[in-house]
Structure 1
Amino acid sequence: MIQALIFDMDGTLFQTDKILELSLDDTFEHLRSLHQWDTVTPIDTYRKIMGVPLPQVWETLLPNHSNEVREQTNAYFLERLIGNIKSGKGALYPNVKEVLRHLKENHCSIYIASNGLTEYLKAIVSYYNLDKWVTETFSIQQIESLNKSDLVKSIIKKYNITKAAVVGDRLSDIKAAKDNGFVSIGCNFDFAREDELAQADMVIDDLMELKEILPKLR
């Protein structure tokens, strides 16, 4: 019997693209004002690496900048993301609350395991009241290795989970499931890639499909 579902956040529960470009533009405009950037915002590059931990993001987007500048940029970007969330410019994917409510009513524990930073995740959970259904939200910041498989392992250990599924849109989610002996459910949403989803045990196009899948897993 499946005891729990462990969800990714960005590109799975939260439509990150609604605030991503806006927040990146804010951030790179800030860098331009400091004369640390002189060209367009690299939104396409970011989309290709969406889902990796933020330190890796800034190594990719700012390859010729110092670690100090990357850290300052990361802090500013996080500030803008949170500001845009709190001002209602983001959105959950369709049916998120209905599905989470259904899972909770059917005695399935719900967790979030995300490569997002702690304060960013708190802003989303708080704004959309997700803690009504989610037992706990885990950030990659809590794991020294910055590896999602290790993050999921920490959830297993804390809550003594033996049967679960990991739901997410990227390869790190699929690997996190497989590395821990769980079912992997790939989400064919905005940032998903066909070659990565091909490695999942099953693929969904809408979170509502989880209502039909759960009884089969049990």
Structure 2
Amino acid sequence: MSSSLKTKKPVAAFDLDGTLFNSMSVSYDAIRLGFENFWKAMGVDGEIPDWSTARKLIGLPSHEFYPALLPDEYKDRSEILHRHVSEMERLHLAEGRGRTFHGVHTTLETLIKMGYELRCLSNASWHYFDSIMKECRLGQFFAVSEWLGEDLTRSKPDVLAKWARQAGKDNIFYVGDRLGDVRAAHAVGIEVVAVSYGYGDKEELQEADAVIDQFPTLLRVLTSRARRVFKSASGIVDSRGCRKEIFYSGITGSDISEREKFADEIAHELYLRGKTASVAGFREVSTVRERIPETHSGHIVLIYDLPDDTESAGIHVDMIIESPEG
């Protein structure tokens, strides 16, 4: 297990199964065959869980995952099942059946070029984790990796808290596919991007700071000027105890193409957060400004001046946030 001292680089941290690695071609076959061997060893004709049952549990630590699949009278023998399934997983991975999701390698390469230090945190056991890193050529990207496996003394929040201390909470984010990933990151106060293509349902990912449908979209999230505005405003919302509702009052700038480009960024950022917006309203500043009350009593007004990509007049954004009652 690798470790790291404090880093000045921004840290991009990732879950493994369902985020980087598409284990669907490996996991259920391994579970099915592992169960067959387990029941043979037990000398009984036991039931094999279907994929929908197993899928809901993927992402849990192994000491929770395997007992959850077994009947009560066999839960104390879950480690035997774990060994049988792990053996099948290693065989399948050696056969080349495992795949990363679309765009994972090129996106990780780009993040390193952008100056990020990459880290990987998984609930997987060491043998499974190590096999994937080697077979899928993922190990080359990560400066730090931690796998929890059967370690009952640590959890994802524990590791993320350590990494947040090393990098600074504002200098790290986590990417995962399950509600447990989202809550682990938020438990220690760091941002989390959820992927919708993994094992989690979209409903369970609503607490994430952003949700992406394809891995390469992460680059757009990180380079968005709108994201910087959201991040700053969210920090003010949190520090002042405001309701988490942000109202956009207008976007101005001498270059209409840049205004429209930034308006699209705002709309995309809202989409990632599960909200929608009228892009036309953002582009026509006057129509938006007419909706602003003449007095800003009871509101916080934020003003952002952002340089555009062509170094012209830039973008000016007014934001009104509802202030705490009282």
What TM-score do the two structures reach when normalised by structure 2?
A: 0.62
Asked if the contact 2:38/2:80 (under 8 Å) is kept, the reply is no
Amino acid at match of 2:57: I
Tell me which residue corresponds to 2:197.
Answer: 189
Q: Is 1:164 aligned to 2:172, yes or no?
A: yes
Measure how far apart 1:178 and its partner are.
0.9
Measure how far apart 1:13 and its partner are.
0.4
Tell me which residue corresponds to 2:145.
Answer: 137
- Alignment CA distance shift 1:71-1:55 (3 Å): same
Asked if the contact 1:23/1:77 (under 8 Å) is kept, the reply is yes
Q: Is 1:33 aligned to 2:44, yes or no?
A: no
Q: Is 1:124 aligned to 2:123, yes or no?
A: no
Q: Secondary structure at the match of 1:141?
A: coil
Measure how far apart 1:148 and its partner are.
1.4
CA distance in 1, matches of 2:49, 2:68: 13
> Relative contact order (C-alpha < 8 Å, sep 6+): which is higher?
1
Tell me which residue corresponds to 2:65.
Answer: 57
Amino acid at match of 1:169: D
Q: Which structure would you say has the larger Rg?
A: 2
Which string of whole-angstrom CA distances, capped at 9 and with x for unpartnered residues, describes residues 113-143 of structure 1? 1111111111111112212211122112385
- Alignment CA distance shift 1:165-1:125 (3 Å): same
CA distance in 1, matches of 2:149, 2:48: 29
CA distance in 2, matches of 1:208, 1:28: 36
Tell me which residue corresponds to 2:122.
Answer: 114
Amino acid at match of 1:141: G
Which string of whole-angstrom CA distances, capped at 9 and with x for unpartnered residues, describes residues 20-71 of structure 1? 111011101102322244233443221111111111112111132152x211
| Root-mean-square deviation over aligned CA pairs | 2.0
Which string of whole-angstrom CA distances, capped at 9 and with x for unpartnered residues, describes residues 173-198 of structure 1? 11122122211101001312222210
Q: 1:20 aligns with which of 11, 27, 47?
A: 27
Q: Is 1:75 aligned to 2:97, yes or no?
A: no
Q: Secondary structure at the match of 1:104?
A: helix
CA distance in 2, matches of 1:65, 1:173: 29
If each structure's strand is expressed as a fraction of its own residues, which one has the higher value?
2
CA distance in 1, matches of 2:107, 2:75: 43
